[in-house]
A and B are shown apart, each in its own frame.
Chain A
């Protein structure tokens, strides 16, 4: 009787994830080994790994891999550095602490697509305030849309604006759980605050830092909304991320087999990244404890 109750509790969730989450994947996996085109319509045929080999030999695929990892890497590096500095600052008693906590939640809860439109307004070459800001420093009309470096910088900035708060919130929770007596001992030894940071705070925050960096990086790899609205992948394909590339192949060219193949390559890349990351970070964490 007990057993039946426990299956009744978990079954609905299990079935929904299985049917909506996993079954389409099986179908799409089989499609990735076939040539399926809607435009022009040709009968599907089994082609083995041809789609995968085709994708791996496309410079455009590799360009989107590079763009995706570059934007995610830059954005997460800045988010972590900035987030740690802000968390340390907010951990000390600061006036308006509660205002900060509320303000930090706004960017997190805003639709990335709305953020993208706000970004488009702010970085607009004619009517955006960024033009005034850069004008102050002597850059007249910075080429946000037309230069690959500026366009990437713009996308990274928006990503940092939206997600740094999440890093702050998580690191702040970590900072508040650190034991106080270690600092008291360090005080007695006359350790400077710089030494205390590198000797105590940073190492003790390492596990939570590793987690938050991983979380943010994997999420950033999925970037599409801002790219879709702001640059459309341009100039050329200089800011085309993997998700956008997959979307373009699927819904502009309707080459379904090939699209399924790149989406699975994307999945494989994330799994490889995750495995390497855990393998690199684990000895570090074990060494400290």
Chain B
């Protein structure tokens, strides 16, 4: 008798009922907004009603109102969300999977002292330049970075004492960015963007500013997921190509990428969903022109009050792309994505 048989043997019914109840709980709220989007204001405000044609008459009024533009500019935020999430997901996927590939196939050795000296020069240089010499904040940050980066690189080639960090530590450095509470980095980013605006580079409420922040925000996940996919690829093909003197970049784009389409697509969709759903960054970094759907939704709610039928339409539109993504992803899950993602 197999293990699974031992677990599954008796008491089948209570288990099935328990699972069905949870399925119902999971699906009901989704059903509820679909139904609410078909209600008239009168049907909503009269108290809870559940079944179309039974306890209320469905109408498409809320949908018509949303698409006719009566409720302010609805397509603006929708287009913003699409443009921003697709661009950030693509940029993060390209540079993130390149980094993940490098972390799988090459060996990195970062001397701890070099990394520490980088941090000390960058922070100390900034404080000295801005608060000592009175330079502008952005100039100070830029200069201290230009000072710190080469110094650390040169130090790294020297024979320094102390521990040496390997690939695992580099991956940890990337992934640990995700552990930061987003309010810490989002607020810091808001401050920097405001400063950049003062020196003539407007990043607040701009496409570039948001895409940059979302790329940085998604990179840890891309690197984490793609590293597992690349590590599972056979190395022989690449070695054969190397013998033939094919450049590393061509190997990556012409051999490795075509072999990893399933992983790349799955990672792209996960990243897309993160950016599409993100609220806090967008709330802090946009004011009007580049508002994304989640921010627009909250704005409408506080501005117009609880017009549930209209909110339901907007919510349905904002989750529909994710339902498509969920359907596609559930096919990938069989190929062990979930097992890879938790490590």
Interface residues as binary, B1-14 with A (CB distance below 8 Å gives 1, 0 otherwise): 11110111100000
Residues of chain B contacted by A82 (CB below 8 angstroms):
22
Closest to A36 in B: B191
User: What CA separation (Å) do A141 and B277 show in the bound complex?
Assistant: 32
Residues of chain A contacted by B183 (CB below 8 angstroms):
222, 224, 242-243, 246-247, 263, 266
User: What CA separation (Å) do A98 and B184 show in the bound complex?
Assistant: 40
Residues of chain B contacted by A26 (CB below 8 angstroms):
122-123, 126, 141
Q: Which of A101, A182, A246 contacts B3 (CB 8 A)?
A: A182
Q: For chain B, what secondary structure do more than half of its interface residues adopt (helix, strand, loop), or is it mixed? A: helix
Stretch at the interface among A48-56, A122-130, A146-154: A122-130
Stretch at the interface among B69-77, B95-103, B232-240: B95-103
Contact in complex: A121, B187 (CB < 8 Å) = no
Closest to A128 in B: B48
Q: By CB atoms of chain B within 10 A, which of A6, A121, A179 has the most?
A: A121
Query: Given the interface contacts A117-B315, A173-B342, does A196 sit within 8 Å of B6 by beta carbon?
Result: yes
Closest to A215 in B: B342
Q: Which of B18, B99, B315, B338 contacts A114 (CB 8 A)?
A: B315
Query: Given the interface contacts A173-B342, A225-B279, does A109 sit within 8 Å of B326 by beta carbon?
Result: yes
Residues of chain A contacted by B181 (CB below 8 angstroms):
221-222, 242-243, 263, 266-267, 270
Contact in complex: A10, B330 (CB < 8 Å) = no
Residues of chain A contacted by B145 (CB below 8 angstroms):
19, 23
Q: Which of B16, B188, B220, B283 contacts A95 (CB 8 A)?
A: B16
**Is A65 located at the chain interface by the 8 A CB criterion?**
no
Q: Give the A-B pair count, Cβ closer than 8 A.
A: 299
Closest to A186 in B: B6
Instruction: Tell me the residues in window 273-307 of chain B with beta carbons closer than 8 Å to chain A beta carbons.
Output: 273, 276-277, 279-280, 283-284, 293-294, 297-298, 301, 306
Closest to A224 in B: B280
Smallest CB separation, B97 vs chain A (Å): 9
Contact in complex: A208, B342 (CB < 8 Å) = yes
Stretch at the interface among B29-37, B58-66, B257-265: B29-37
Contact in complex: A9, B297 (CB < 8 Å) = no
Residues of chain A contacted by B15 (CB below 8 angstroms):
89, 92, 94
Contact in complex: B279, A224 (CB < 8 Å) = yes
User: What CA separation (Å) do A218 and B180 show in the bound complex?
Assistant: 9
Stretch at the interface among A27-35, A73-81, A280-288: A27-35
Residues of chain A contacted by B179 (CB below 8 angstroms):
218, 270, 274
User: What CA separation (Å) do A150 and B291 show in the bound complex?
Assistant: 33
Contact in complex: A111, B6 (CB < 8 Å) = no
Instruction: Tell me the residues in window 92-127 of chain A with beta carbons closer than 8 Å to chain B beta carbons.
Output: 92-96, 98-115, 117-122, 124, 126-127
User: What CA separation (Å) do A100 and B24 show in the bound complex?
Assistant: 11
Contact in complex: A17, B322 (CB < 8 Å) = no
Contact in complex: B95, A16 (CB < 8 Å) = yes
Closest to A109 in B: B322
Q: By CB atoms of chain B within 10 A, which of A21, A86, A96, A186 has the most?
A: A21
Instruction: Tell me the residues in window 33-53 of chain B with beta carbons closer than 8 Å to chain A beta carbons.
Output: 33, 36, 44-48, 50
Interface residues as binary, B305-341 with A (CB distance below 8 Å gives 1, 0 otherwise): 0101001100100110011011101100100001100
Residues of chain B contacted by A181 (CB below 8 angstroms):
3
Contact in complex: A121, B308 (CB < 8 Å) = yes
Closest to B329 in A: A105
Q: By CB atoms of chain B within 10 A, which of A85, A113, A172, A251 has the most?
A: A113
User: What CA separation (Å) do A246 and B195 show in the bound complex?
Assistant: 20
Contact in complex: B27, A103 (CB < 8 Å) = yes
Smallest CB separation, B47 vs chain A (Å): 6
Contact in complex: A6, B108 (CB < 8 Å) = yes
**Is B177 located at the chain interface by the 8 A CB criterion?**
yes
Residues of chain B contacted by A110 (CB below 8 angstroms):
277, 319, 322
Instruction: Tell me the residues in window 138-166 of chain A with beta carbons closer than 8 Å to chain B beta carbons.
Output: 161, 164-165
Contact in complex: B252, A122 (CB < 8 Å) = no
Contact in complex: B6, A183 (CB < 8 Å) = yes
Smallest CB separation, B128 vs chain A (Å): 11
Contact in complex: A28, B215 (CB < 8 Å) = no
Contact in complex: B191, A256 (CB < 8 Å) = yes
Q: By CB atoms of chain A within 10 A, which of B33, B48, B50, B108 has the most?
A: B48
Smallest CB separation, B277 vs chain A (Å): 4
Residues of chain A contacted by B338 (CB below 8 angstroms):
169-170, 172-173
Contact in complex: A106, B323 (CB < 8 Å) = yes
**Is A178 located at the chain interface by the 8 A CB criterion?**
yes
Q: List 8 A-B contacts (CB under 8 A).
A: A2-B106, A10-B102, A30-B126, A100-B23, A103-B26, A110-B322, A161-B29, A225-B294
Q: Shortest 3 CB-CB distances between A and B: which pairs?
A: A92-B8, A183-B3, A24-B188
6 more CB-based (< 8 A) A-B contacts, given A21-B216, A121-B311, A246-B187: A96-B23, A103-B26, A115-B29, A129-B48, A243-B183, A260-B187
